């Protein structure tokens, strides 16, 4: 048995073009300035791409398990509880997966200094957390629902409320950065980013599911969301 | 077993928290333990179609240790840096050794507003025999993946789109 990372070899299969953006997207002008004009290169995969850091928390420590706060430090906005499960393509949980989550406040403003949107800052809201998945691949975050906001210089494009996710799977090529959307928001229909996923079923999986309201902690709406990172176990040699 | 479809990638957006983007650019130690090997700097500039440097673009790297191994507990081969207002980034790391069947190299991925998917590329230290470098077509593009050296500092500029575009990989 080799001592390489990970212990179980992962297989990475080609992406399905219907379930992934193809790079340049109508209505999203920056993709025309930044996505390569040349076709992407094919390469053989070696141990370099099919390994990855074991225990990323050695370099990235967990920060802020709760973004909503309590009492007079409570952030303004509708309280939500995000239950996100990280699994691989076999459906197996990815325990120890590091998950970064960030989103704007209930007025549509990010904490980032580059956000010049005129919406107010909420002194009790700092919209960035880094969490580590438990044995079942679950990460939970208590926060407030982000607002929609207009994209600067984008001819009336409003981003629907969404939550950014940055996730590490088992190997370098499992890395995933994506966004989670809320069910039933009319802006979802026209969003250039969500609709870059052409396959309707794949797109629907980018939208969280509202859990029955009696199930959650008091005062919060619970949203369930599943993230599938690339990679499955190498085929077993057993019959 | 039924295969689940990987989640759709989406852009990092322009507002990736600065505290996340910064602070992981130095791979020369982990948990207070210094890595073995020759310390090097890797720096460069990330530009878009019109040549403008990109602010707050995020680069992540993954590399072998000084002996070409990916499983050395004394070296943590993953790091992350963000570009400054002019598009410049910097990593401090260890000169990687040659993994089995490969030339020394550093894997890069780039995340940014306007990139709906992560862009994967690889930095090499010389125009060496390597199956990934030699997969790049046409062959004249390969030199764009070879860093220029100045002492113990290596320069690897990345042009996302336009004349002199960096080759990127689809896996």
Per the CB < 8 A criterion, the answer to whether B146 and B42 are in contact is no
pLDDT mean over B19-28: 92
For A160, half-sphere exposure in the C-beta direction (CA atoms, 13 angstrom radius) is: 19
First to last CA, chain A: 20
Mean pLDDT for chain B overall: 96
> What is the spatial distance between Cα A227 and Cα A71, in angstroms, rounded to a whole number?
32
Q: Kindly indicate the confidence band of residue A1, based on its pLDDT and cuts at 50, 70 and 90.
A: very low
B83, with CB counted inside 10 A (0-12, 13-18, 19+), is buried
Tokens of A46: 């070696």
> How many Cβ contacts (< 8 angstroms) between chains A and B?
223
Of A109-123, A129-143, B137-151, give the lowest mean pLDDT range.
Answer: A109-123
Q: Taking 50 as the threshold, does the pLDDT of residue A21 lie above it?
A: yes
Q: Residue with structure tokens 């079923």?
A: A201
More confident call, A155 vs A81: A81
Tell me: the pLDDT tens digits for B100-116? 999 999 999 999 999 99
Q: pTM of the prediction?
A: 0.95
pLDDT at A210: 97
Candidate list A28, A149, A223, A225, residue with the active-site label: A149
> What is the spatial distance between Cα B131 and Cα A154, in angstroms, rounded to a whole number?
43
Q: Taking 90 as the threshold, does the pLDDT of residue A231 lie above it?
A: yes
Per the CB < 8 A criterion, the answer to whether A223 and A82 are in contact is yes
Cβ contacts of A149-155, under 8 Å, gap ≥ 24:
A149/A104, A149/A108, A149/A109, A149/A117, A149/A119, A150/A117, A152/A116, A152/A117, A154/A29
Q: Taking 60 as the threshold, does the pLDDT of residue B139 lie above it?
A: yes
Q: Which of A33, A111, A206 sits opposite B8 (nearest CB)?
A: A206
Tell me: the pLDDT tens digits for A149-175? 999 888 899 999 999 999 999 999 999
Q: Which of B6, B8, B99 sits opposite A21 (nearest CB)?
A: B8
ipTM: 0.96
Q: Taking 60 as the threshold, does the pLDDT of residue A6 lie above it?
A: no
Tell which residue, A4, A2, A7, has the closest CA to residue A233: A7
pLDDT at B1: 63
Q: Kindly indicate the confidence band of residue A238, based on its pLDDT and cuts at 50, 70 and 90.
A: very low
More confident call, B81 vs A113: B81
Mean pLDDT for chain A overall: 92
Give chain A positions within 8 Å (CB) of B12. 164, 166, 177
Q: Taking 60 as the threshold, does the pLDDT of residue A3 lie above it?
A: no
Catalytic site residue A110?
A: yes
């Amino acid at each position: 048995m080799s001592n390489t990372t990970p212990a179980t070899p992962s297989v990475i299969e080609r992406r399905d073009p219907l379930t992934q953006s193809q790079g340049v997207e109508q209505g999203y002008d920056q993709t025309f300035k930044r996505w390569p004009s040349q076709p992407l290169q094919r390469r053989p995969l070696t141990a370099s791409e099919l390994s990855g850091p074991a225990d990323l928390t050695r370099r990235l420590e967990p920060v802020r398990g709760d973004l909503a706060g309590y009492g007079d430090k409570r952030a303004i906005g509708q309280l939500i509880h995000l239950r996100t499960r990280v699994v691989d393509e076999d459906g197996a949980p990815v325990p120890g997966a590091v998950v970064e989550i960030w989103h704007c406040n209930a007025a549509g403003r990010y904490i980032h200094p580059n956000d010049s949107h005129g919406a107010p800052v909420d002194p009790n809201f700092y919209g960035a957390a880094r969490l580590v998945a438990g044995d079942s691949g679950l990460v939970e975050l208590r926060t407030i629902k982000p607002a929609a906001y207009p994209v600067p210089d984008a001819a009336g494009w409003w981003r629907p409320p969404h939550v950014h996710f940055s996730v590490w799977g088992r190997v370098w090529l499992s890395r995933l950065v994506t966004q989670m959307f809320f069910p039933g928001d009319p802006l979802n229909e026209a969003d250039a980013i969500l609709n870059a996923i052409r396959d309707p079923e794949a797109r629907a999986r980018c939208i969280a599911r509202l859990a029955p309201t009696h199930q959650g902690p008091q005062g919060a709406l619970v949203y369930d969301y599943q993230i599938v990172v690339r990679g499955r176990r190498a085929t077993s040699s057993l019959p | 077993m039924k295969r689940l479809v990987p989640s759709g990638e989406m852009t990092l957006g322009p507002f990736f928290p600065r505290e996340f983007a910064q602070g992981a650019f130095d791979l020369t130690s982990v948990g207070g333990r210094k890595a073995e090997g020759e310390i090097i700097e890797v720096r460069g500039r990330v530009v878009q179609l019109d040549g403008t440097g990109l602010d707050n673009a995020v680069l992540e790297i993954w590399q072998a240790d000084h002996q070409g191994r990916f499983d050395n507990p004394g070296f943590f081969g993953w790091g992350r840096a963000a570009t400054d207002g002019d598009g410049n980034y910097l990593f401090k790391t260890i000169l990687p050794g040659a993994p089995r069947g490969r030339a020394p190299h550093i894997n890069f991925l780039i995340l940014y507003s306007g990139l709906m998917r992560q862009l994967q590329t690889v930095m090499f230290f010389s125009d060496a025999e390597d199956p990934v470098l030699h997969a790049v077509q046409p062959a004249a593009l390969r030199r764009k993946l070879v860093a220029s050296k100045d002492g113990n500092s290596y320069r690897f500029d990345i042009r996302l789109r336009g004349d002199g575009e960096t080759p990127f990989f689809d896996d």
